[in-house]
Amino acid sequence: MRDFEYCRPQSLKEAVTVLAEKGKGAYPLAGGTDILIELKRRRLPASCLVDIKAIPELRGIEREGDALRIGALTTHSELLGSSLIQETVPVIAHAARQMAFPEIRNRGTIGGNICNAYPAADLVPPLIALGSSVLLASASGQREVGVAEFVLGSRQIAILPGEVLVAVKVPVPVSNAACAYARASTRKTGGIAATSAAAYLSADGGVCRQARIVLGAIEAKPRFVAEAAGYLEGTSISEDVAKAAAKMSVSGLSPIVDPRLSVQYRSYMTELMVRQAVLEAWAEVNR
């Protein structure tokens, strides 16, 4: 790693001031499980790491009306151990459990997972399917952006210079709605997703009212598959309906190159993941 400065602000105000002062080469440091690899491989021109872990405003999981507010520093271990998450958005705990292994989950954070914007980031597809947004703060104020609009592509996010992701706002699905996430990997644990799918479904009288399907890992950017979602809406979802929607989901994809796995295989697995996520979400809705 190249030499850099390090500082550990104690408040959000102090952090955004430091980030504004240090300018271009300053990066927030959360769990470090992504950024340290970038620094070791000399792919990031960082001159200063602003360790945000002492900032109290970035912590905690709370219910705020019909949404959950998850602090940016919440680790994957905390996500999967939270009874509040388990009761309100179990899909987030499920996605966190798919990631890496205990040691990385003990350090890696939800804020880092979103800001790193790796195509295979496991929390991103379910967060988008749920209609989540991120709360951002800078020296000049606060704003809220949908996760779908925030993640622009592989390692690209709509963050402004000097901004810190403070928290993620996740709408809690109403009683007749549910979200499920399925991912395929080369390894059972420790392997990143080769492809993944999240499905959010709501129902009314045994018929699907609203559907959102989001694909992860296969393309540079998480993709909404509107056609397949539209196909599900108004139907009573069966195995065959899910299968047809899954097939629709993979037409016209532009998969990123993955040296480990062929495009053909990943497309096929994407289809299976969509089918699985749709059927799981539907079973949950009708429970």
Partner 1 sequence: MRYEITVKVNGEDYEAYIPARRTLLDFLRDDLGLRGTKKGCDEGDCGSCVVLLDGTPVNSCMVLAVEVNGREVTTIEGLAKGDELHLVQRAFVEQGAIQCGYCTPGMVLAGKALLDVNPHPTTTEIKEAISGHLCRCTGYGAIVEAIQAAAESMDGGQRASGKTGRSD
Ligand X SMILES: Cc1cc2nc3c(=O)[nH]c(=O)nc-3n(C[C@H](O)[C@H](O)[C@H](O)COP(=O)(O)OP(=O)(O)OC[C@H]3O[C@@H](n4cnc5c(N)ncnc54)[C@H](O)[C@@H]3O)c2cc1C
Q: Which is nearer to partner 1, 33 or 202 (CB)?
A: 33
Residue 252 to residue 173: CA distance in whole angstroms: 30
Q: Is 121 in the site for ligand X (CB under 6 A)?
A: yes
Pick what 77 binds: partner 1, ligand X, none; C-beta below 5 to 8 Å, kind-dependent: partner 1
Burial (0-12, 13-18, 19+ Cβ within 10 Å), 66:
exposed
Q: How many residues bind ligand X (CB under 6 A)?
A: 28
Indicate which single residue of 61, 135, 178, 192 sits in contact with ligand X (rule: CB under 6 A). 192
- What are residue 212's phi and psi, to 5 degrees? -135, 125
Residues in Cβ contact with 173 at an 8 Å cutoff, skipping those fewer than 6 apart: 89, 130, 179, 200, 202
Contact 150, 157 (CB under 8 A): yes
Residue 265 to residue 52: CA distance in whole angstroms: 40
Give the residue among 143, 141, 134 at the shortest CA–CA distance from 109.
Answer: 134
Indicate which single residue of 9, 71, 111, 222 sits in contact with ligand X (rule: CB under 6 A). 111
Closest CB 217 distance from partner 1, rounded Å: 18
DSSP state of 66: T
Strand order in the sheet with 5-7: 5-7, 48-51, 26-29
Indicate which single residue of 34, 57, 78, 271 sits in contact with ligand X (rule: CB under 6 A). 34
Q: Which is nearer to partner 1, 71 or 173 (CB)?
A: 71
The mark string for 126-165 relative to ligand X (x by CB under 6 A, - otherwise) is --------------------------------------xx
Pick what 164 binds: partner 1, ligand X, none; C-beta below 5 to 8 Å, kind-dependent: ligand X
Indicate which single residue of 8, 22, 69, 107 sits in contact with ligand X (rule: CB under 6 A). 107
Residues of this chain that bind partner 1 (CB under 8 A): 1-6, 29-33, 36-37, 39-40, 49, 51, 53-54, 73-78, 81, 100-107, 109, 188-190
Going by DSSP bridges, is the β-strand pair 48-51/26-29 parallel, antiparallel, or unpaired?
A: parallel
Closest CB 112 distance from ligand X, rounded Å: 2
Phi-psi label, residue 256: left if phi above 0, alpha if psi -120 to 50, beta otherwise: beta
Q: Is 35 in the site for ligand X (CB under 6 A)?
A: yes
Q: Which is nearer to partner 1, 120 or 179 (CB)?
A: 120
Q: Which is nearer to partner 1, 84 or 272 (CB)?
A: 84
Give the residue among 144, 133, 147, 145 at the shortest CA–CA distance from 216.
Answer: 147
Closest CB 268 distance from partner 1, rounded Å: 26
Q: Which residue ranges make up the site for ligand X (CB under 6 A)?
A: 27-35, 52, 72, 99-100, 104, 107-109, 111-113, 115-116, 120-122, 164-165, 192
